[in-house]
Structure 1
Amino acid sequence: MKANFVFQNLCGTVYRQGNVVFTPDGNSVLSPVGNRVSVFDLVNNKSSTLAFENRKNIACIALSPDGNILISIDEDGRALLVHFRKGTTLHHMTFRSPVSHVSFSPCGKYIAVCLGSQVEVWLTPSHLAREFAPFVLKRTYTGHQDQVTSLTWGKGSRYFLTTSRDMTARMFTLDPLEGFMPKTFGGHRDVVLSAYFSEDEKTIYTVSRDGAVFIWNAKKTLSAEDSDIEEDILDLPSTSSVAAKRTTDFLPAYTRWGVSNRHYFNLPSTRVVCTTFHSHSSFLIVGFSTGVFGLYEMPTFTPIHTLSISNEKISSVAVNPSGEWLAFGAAKLGQLLVWEWQSESYVLKQQGHYYDMNTLSFSPDGQYIATGGEDGKVKVWNASSGFCFVTFPEHTASISQVEFARNVLFSASLDGTVRAYDMVRYRNFRTFTSPTPVQFCSLAVDPSGEVVCAGSMDSFEIYMWSVQTGKLLDILTGHSAPISGLSFSPSGNQLASSSWDRSVRLWGIFGRSRSSEPISLSAEATSLSFRPDGSEIVVSTLDGQLTFIDEAEGQITSVIEARKDISGGRKIDDRMSSSNNASSKYFNSVTWTSDGSCVLAGGNSKYVCIYSRTEGVLLKKYQISENLSLDGTQEFLDSRRLTELGPIDSIDKNGDASDLEDRLDNSLPGAQKGDLSKRKYRREAKTNCVRFSTSGRSWAAASTEGLLLYSLDEGTTFDPFDLTLDLTPETILKTLGNEEYLLALIMALRLSELPLLLRVYENVPIGEIKLISRQLPQIHLESFLKFLIGHMEKSPHVEYDLIWINYILTAHGRWLMSHKGEMASVFRGLLRGLGDWEEGVVRLARDNGYKLDYLISQVERVREKELEESRMEVEAV
């Protein structure tokens, strides 16, 4: 069993906080998810998560104009400079305070960072070469009296606009200009959120939080009406060089600015939260605190489009370079939306679970993942694209477990119902309930999908229903504590149950007797799982042990002591180190690999462990997150962050906020006035559920960060095997030209370059396939069959591929059967490809049959018409 799984993608979380950004081509959206960045490809309908991690939750991100460099800054001001196309971290940088905004200049040579009331401009480091001191400070700008909220560059990267909480906007130049003093734009009565240049840079728009939009134009003369707008405007410099330049070019830096018009949104009890501006089309996009966004044409302030897209405030807004798509992020609900305003349709609409994700389950083919959360919703995700394509909101309480069975998805909830969903029509077609109201905390479905069982939390009973009729078949009693886990054997004859009463019971479902003898454990059981061959059961207990039980004998065969393996990470309010903290030293979810050789387990810790069953040792330990914003990720307490009142991270700072709406807490249901101080809590890094894919090539974990997907690394383009100096593309093509097809194919498989392998493969004559298949070394069978699977999906050479598959399976069938556990994913891929071909041929034959029937009927109609015409001619004569 291979254990070199690597992080592949993060699903279930699409947006947390910070700003969303479009790529320069406008086809993808970058969204901060915790301390990671996810990329949503809107054209190919795929999502991916970059491999790097910040130390804490990301506060703001920026992408260079050429799309090569991404800068990501966390809540503490620690920045990572990342090569965006490769996803690798180039440099680290620590700013001295939290950063409110970061922006690249249009030329890409500078990075502007807003630190408190100051703005720092840095030279952009090179992404082509390593440097000892990559960040070089060009200049620091001061003048604002409060925190700077945004920064906007001019087209030529010579000047920029800044806005601040001091209710003003200012204009600065990148390099010192003779006779220039920073311009101040005042008059607003609330925080100025953003300021923008028009396309010709002869107009400036400023937007404040109270819904006021000021339009600033160049002033020709200074009059009495302008005294309340600009009091410190200087006269134009009188030097000849500046005067000459002033006559030939319009320079915003040497221009007197005055308010030409004031506009207001006039929405009661609504504040502006975020804005953006598309200069080419002069569109101002505004996101409000009520979840409504508006699209306005400037400078006439004509409303073009208004839509309510969320129940909570819109935290971030972005527009793509062409101005067609608008991206919105709502932090409280975890929503990410992309709206095409011209056609009034969603390009992307994704939302994760509101709070924790409790459980997950892979579909039988491994293509889909179902998740259940604390918000009572069941979501189904596409494992390859990372998108959620259906949500079932029927439950009214937290989801405890979900299970797939063929084309049916089952879910158990604390609302006392078990629901069955049709995955073809996407509807809830059956609801199972108990005679008396109970809370279901565990679920199991037999392999045939005919019987579903659920364990209760309060009555300590197991309820069994028939899926077809929906009737209650039986109630299994015997446990004296909540049922923590249920699992059917692969044959479907036995049901295993674990409970907090420190026992495991085996039930004969289809036998006459329902009695079972308990198998005693050392502590309370938290979960259990049947081995794929049905010979063994693994149970996780509260004392940090993995207990293995023989199914036939009903006895404990071995125990793995895992307390030290899973322990790690201390909470912010813990009074002991992580090594002495017993609260995180147990697993709450355990599962077998597809071949039954290893066990995967996760629990209330930042680690997920994989163990070898035969040797009983830890193979590898995966850390699900390095985000220090979560509890349980830091090993030692930082004494520098201790105060007289305790750790500084545990102190609620929201009570010091200057704005009332930032202090009010309206999160409780029915709250109208709200609490005057928000309650601060820190989410804990833990894993609620782990599951292996049926292919054995990937596994998933339902964690605090979201749905983490790990897989064997198949994404590398260049992955050579047994590479030597003489193994080059030239030698492979030369060998192919000499008609040494077997040697050329083996060399191409060793070099593992897809275009070269495709060329060698398609040049092999049909008459040579049988001999080459027989002589192909077994060590290359897996990689060659995987290549064949990919070729089957894209190539029109159906007969050629079938000949290869036939001879490969005939020559190496016995070896493949002896290694069916390792080759399970390959077999499934071949079966899926052959099934697609079969469906295509059947569909083509059916369509051809309809076309032939139509043509024959048309011929008969023509003949009948000719006969009718000839008969009428005869009658006429």
Structure 2
Amino acid sequence: MKTDFKFSNLLGTVYCQGNLLFSPDGTHLYSPVGNRVTVFNLVDNKSYTLPFAHRKNIARIGLTPKGNLLLSVDEDGQAILTNVPRRIALYRISFKSPVTALSFSPSGRHFVVALGRKLEVWHVPSTPDSNAEGELDFAPFVRHHTHTGHFDDVQHIEWSSDSRFFLSASKDLTTRVWSVDPEEGFEPTVLSGHRQAVVGAWFSKDQETIYTVSKDGAVFDWQYVGRPRAEDEMVDEDEDDMRWRIVNRHYFMQNNTSLRCAAYHPDSNLLVAGFSNGIFGLYEMPEFNMIHTLSISQNDIDFVTINKSGEWLAFGASKLGQLLVWEWQSESYILKQQGHFDSMNSLVYSPDGQRIITTADDGKIKVWDIESGFCIVTFTEHTSGVTACEFAKKGNVLFTASLDGSIRAWDLIRYRNFRTFTAPTRLSFTCMAVDPSGEVVAAGSLDSFDVHIWSVQTGQLLDRLAGHEGPVSALAFAPSGDVLISGSWDRTARLWSIFNRTQTSEPLQLQADVLDVAIRPDSQQLAVSTLDGQLTFWSVSEAEQVSGVDGRRDVSGGRKVTDRRTAANVSGNKSFGTIRYSADGSCLIAAGNSKYICLYSVTTMVLLKKFTVSVNLSLSGTQEFLNSKLLTEAGPEADIDDQDASDREGRMDKLLPGSKRGDPSARRQMPEVRVTGVDFSPAGTAFCAASTEGLLIYSLDTTLQFDPFDLNMEITPASTLAVLENEKDYLKALVMAFRLNEAGLIKRVFQAVPYTDIPLVVEQFPTVYVPRLLRFVAAQTEESPHIEFCLLWIKALVDKHGAWLTANRGKVDVELRIVARAIGRMRDEIRRLADENVYMVDYLVGQSASVDEEDGGAVKMLDGTGEVKLLGNGQGKKPALATVLGDEQVSEDEEEWVGLD
């Protein structure tokens, strides 16, 4: 099994903090998710996460007008410049202090960063695309100059359309106008008059008006005019009293709320404002006409932006992790996504490998589509945290267990809850297992030491298995369906034969509390993870321990910010809380309350690879060593409450009286990094992990160019093509292509084989290459338009090598799953196409076979030359003329032919 898994996508988190950006064409939305940036393709309905990662959460992002460079800055001022089309990090720079605002000029030559009270103008680095020599700069970031003058943090920067001036809005109640280069007759100007911090400032399209918006909901119109004079006041011609003055004052008038964010679109004169109660308003300037208001969240709207055409508005709310794109003219959502606002507990792949189900403490179950990266449905029927989820092996039926005392069965075709299982007494279920046939579901609880078993058909409680002396922490059915394994805090795992008359129980004695159990896909081996960091492997048939691994050193890593000792001496993170076998049973993946995911070989008991979940220092537990800089006289810096309490909202206590947990939507300042669930995809080409960062997906790099298999000197692409084209030896050419293992070459040889020779080639094909050929043909079935050609290959492979495939089912299980998925998808697409076109086909057949009564039953058909001809028996009439459609009119004694041209 290949182990070179690479990070491919981040799901489950759509917005954390900072600003949102539309691409110049308005089709993509850039959103900061922790220390990464996710790009949402709003036209193709897909999302992907850029591969680079910051060392802290991202505070600000900026995009050049061309859309080819993205500058992202974290909370410490460390910036990464990324080539967006190639997804490559080009440069790194430190601004040496936190960045509060960032904006690129419309010309693409400069960008401005606000470092607290200070403003710095920088030259935009050139790239290989814009450089004549195609080389990168030696010193890419060159500072143009620095502006000072504000007395508090700058919150917003806006450029004029000609890129000569820019505005800076600050918490010091003022807005200032600056020029990039010295301008004749221009001096930096201060616009003061607001009573609270200025949230935003913008130029109008003609640059004759400046709009400023403050936190108390005031909108001021500024124009460059002279001093207003009384009617009888004399005008002095020499006096030059022209300056920026307030012409109009408007107010939003939202009761008891403050304005959180605003955006202005100069071309359409639209002003959007987001408030602290989750309402946004859309206004037309300069008359300040309200177009509409809408409540889209229960908490503050943190950021709003408008795309270039002015049609779409994007909103981000960080407390609930919401991201919305709203089309205001049609009043409809383009995108509406929200992650879990509490920690995820478990996850599972769907049997077809196309979806991932996640459950969390917020009581929600979310279904994520892997291809698009979006949440497609959310179930909210559970009233408490959902602790476990599992699919029935056949069909689209999902089972979930919750702390509310219920087990629910979900139909993922109709998206509804069709069965609910409960115990006679109120229990909080923490683990669950489903029989492979889908007939029986079992659940365990921390309150009761029994394992409860229900019938899925009737919903009745069938049995309660007693035997454990401690809470049941893990359950699993063997894939063969004859054994149920349970793990408990009483330091035993038990094998139950629940379908036998005797219902015998075989205890396996362990050295510590059981945290999780997993069964190999062939039902022959059991893996148990215990609290002391040990992984033990047992034979299911013999009930004997086969081998074991000490994983304490592998899994431990990362100090919590409150720890007084080093990571090597902390006991809390030295065990695996979740383990899973790979699809072929050769590897075991394990993770726990640390930043590492470990991949072990089952046969050699060797650590194959170690994956680091996150390098984000904004999370507790990612640093290895003690940082004395973070230790103060009052204790660790993270324990000190330093939240902003300078305004009324910051001082308000929103906790419920008597609640120990607090507001469930409020995240702690530094959540701990941990992995609560891992699972391999059914095809074995990817695995996912539920972590504090979100739902991480790691997959094999399928675009690997050269990975040879059984190669020697004589085999080259040229010699392979020579055998194919000159000797016409298709079998030899296909084997040579597979030994080179180059995708383009295999595809060329594969498509060159005549369909009549397919059975002969497959029959003599070496069995060592059969799994590779099977996987390749399945991929071609999904990609290429040659449907029948690929099906002939699959049929020949099954016919000629069926006995070998059956005998080696464990080795080729992944390939067979991929083939089954490809054929199923093809069948569904053809069925959908047929269903969509059935009425069109009926209509065309009815039109082409219409009987002309006057011509005595002769049928008029359209031949290939575009002429109408009479077919069949005309009953004594001569065959009618041929009428060219569109050139001549049909004679009066003949009916006009109605059909499609």
Q: TM-score, normalised by structure 1?
A: 0.89
Change (3 A) 1:855 1:122: closer
Partner of 1:400, secondary structure, is: strand
Change (3 A) 1:727 1:147: farther
Partner of 2:794, secondary structure, is: helix
Matches of 2:434 and 2:71, distance apart in 1: 47
| Match in the other structure for 1:620 | 609
Matched, 1:184 2:186: no
Matched, 1:102 2:102: yes
| Match in the other structure for 1:579 | 568
Q: Is contact 1:594-1:693 (8 Å) kept?
A: yes
Aligned mate of 1:460, from 439, 446, 449:
449
Change (3 A) 1:756 1:278: farther
Matches of 1:383 and 1:223, distance apart in 2: 63
| Match in the other structure for 2:686 | 698
Per-residue deviation, residues 279-324 of structure 1 (Å, max 9, x unmatched): 2212111111111111111112122232111111111112221222
| Match in the other structure for 1:492 | 481
| Match in the other structure for 1:664 | 652
Matches of 2:836 and 2:190, distance apart in 1: 72
| Match in the other structure for 1:247 | none
Matches of 1:126 and 1:736, distance apart in 2: 47
Greater shift, 788-797 or 266-275, is seen at: 788-797
Per-residue deviation, residues 37-66 of structure 1 (Å, max 9, x unmatched): 111111111111111110011111111111
Matches of 2:839 and 2:136, distance apart in 1: 65
Aligned mate of 1:151, from 145, 154, 157:
157
Matches of 1:385 and 1:844, distance apart in 2: 22
| Match in the other structure for 2:236 | none
Aligned mate of 2:416, from 418, 422, 427:
427
Matched, 1:166 2:172: yes
Change (3 A) 1:846 1:539: same
Matches of 2:844 and 2:97, distance apart in 1: 77
Matches of 2:426 and 2:289, distance apart in 1: 57
Matches of 2:275 and 2:419, distance apart in 1: 41
Matches of 1:739 and 1:105, distance apart in 2: 62
Matches of 1:593 and 1:610, distance apart in 2: 10
Per-residue deviation, residues 736-764 of structure 1 (Å, max 9, x unmatched): 76575747767776887877765655454
Letter in structure 2 aligned against 1:536 = Q
| Match in the other structure for 1:473 | 462
| Match in the other structure for 2:243 | 256
Letter in structure 1 aligned against 2:454 = W
Change (3 A) 1:852 1:58: closer
Matches of 1:184 and 1:491, distance apart in 2: 77
Matches of 2:147 and 2:618, distance apart in 1: 31
Per-residue deviation, residues 470-513 of structure 1 (Å, max 9, x unmatched): 00001111212211100011121111100111111111111222
The structure richer in helix per residue is 1
Letter in structure 2 aligned against 1:403 = E
Change (3 A) 1:427 1:800: same
Matches of 2:609 and 2:467, distance apart in 1: 38
Q: Is contact 1:410-1:420 (8 Å) kept?
A: yes
Between Structure 1 and Structure 2, how many residues are aligned?
Answer: 834
Q: Shift of the alpha carbon at 1:570?
A: 0.4
Q: Is contact 2:583-2:814 (8 Å) kept?
A: no
Change (3 A) 1:16 1:209: same
Change (3 A) 1:492 1:326: same
Aligned mate of 1:311, from 281, 287, 298:
298
Partner of 1:834, secondary structure, is: helix
- Give the unaligned 5+ runs of structure 1: 226-233, 237-254, 868-877
Aligned mate of 1:516, from 505, 510, 527:
505
Q: Shift of the alpha carbon at 1:805?
A: 2.9
1:627-638 equivalences under 5 Å are: 627-638=616-627
Letter in structure 1 aligned against 2:508 = I
Matched, 1:376 2:363: yes
Aligned mate of 2:181, from 175, 183, 197:
175
Q: Is contact 1:741-1:760 (8 Å) kept?
A: no
The two structures, once aligned, show a CA RMSD in angstroms of 3.2
Q: Is contact 2:674-2:692 (8 Å) kept?
A: yes
| Match in the other structure for 1:222 | 227
Q: Shift of the alpha carbon at 1:811?
A: 5.2
Partner of 1:518, secondary structure, is: strand
Matches of 1:278 and 1:434, distance apart in 2: 58
Change (3 A) 1:818 1:137: farther
Letter in structure 1 aligned against 2:555 = I
Q: Shift of the alpha carbon at 1:596?
A: 1.2
| Match in the other structure for 2:781 | 792
1:335-350 equivalences under 5 Å are: 335-350=322-337
Q: Shift of the alpha carbon at 1:273?
A: 0.8
1:381-400 equivalences under 5 Å are: 381-400=368-387
Percent of aligned pairs with the same residue?
52
Per-residue deviation, residues 576-599 of structure 1 (Å, max 9, x unmatched): 100111111011111111111111
Matched, 1:563 2:563: no
Partner of 2:572, secondary structure, is: helix
Change (3 A) 1:781 1:70: farther
Letter in structure 2 aligned against 1:699 = F
Q: Is contact 2:327-2:334 (8 Å) kept?
A: yes
| Match in the other structure for 2:585 | 596
1:71-220 equivalences under 5 Å are: 71-128=71-128, 129-219=135-225
| Match in the other structure for 1:34 | 34
Matches of 2:838 and 2:744, distance apart in 1: 38
Q: Is contact 1:461-1:479 (8 Å) kept?
A: yes
Partner of 2:505, secondary structure, is: coil
Change (3 A) 1:668 1:736: farther
Q: Shift of the alpha carbon at 1:824?
A: 3.3
Change (3 A) 1:464 1:79: same
Matches of 2:838 and 2:164, distance apart in 1: 69
Q: Is contact 2:319-2:667 (8 Å) kept?
A: no
Q: Is contact 2:682-2:817 (8 Å) kept?
A: no
Aligned mate of 2:390, from 403, 407, 410:
403
Partner of 1:85, secondary structure, is: coil
Letter in structure 2 aligned against 1:32 = P
Q: Is contact 1:68-1:127 (8 Å) kept?
A: no
Q: TM-score, normalised by structure 2?
A: 0.86
Matched, 1:56 2:56: yes
Per-residue deviation, residues 310-342 of structure 1 (Å, max 9, x unmatched): 111111112221222111111000011111112
Matches of 2:319 and 2:703, distance apart in 1: 34
Q: Shift of the alpha carbon at 1:381?
A: 0.9
Per-residue deviation, residues 510-545 of structure 1 (Å, max 9, x unmatched): 122234242211011111111111112111111000
| Match in the other structure for 1:286 | 273
| Match in the other structure for 2:675 | 687
Greater shift, 178-187 or 589-598, is seen at: 178-187
Q: Shift of the alpha carbon at 1:84?
A: 1.6
Q: Is contact 1:696-1:824 (8 Å) kept?
A: no
| Match in the other structure for 2:17 | 17
Matches of 1:816 and 1:514, distance apart in 2: 35
Letter in structure 2 aligned against 1:293 = F
Partner of 1:582, secondary structure, is: coil
Q: Is contact 2:715-2:740 (8 Å) kept?
A: yes
Matched, 1:361 2:366: no
Matches of 1:79 and 1:725, distance apart in 2: 48
Greater shift, 774-783 or 449-458, is seen at: 774-783
Aligned mate of 1:269, from 242, 245, 256:
256
Per-residue deviation, residues 632-654 of structure 1 (Å, max 9, x unmatched): 10001211232211232332112
| Match in the other structure for 1:239 | none
Matches of 2:603 and 2:707, distance apart in 1: 31
Partner of 1:832, secondary structure, is: helix
Q: Shift of the alpha carbon at 1:849?
A: 8.5
Change (3 A) 1:45 1:725: farther
Letter in structure 2 aligned against 1:86 = R
| Match in the other structure for 2:492 | 503
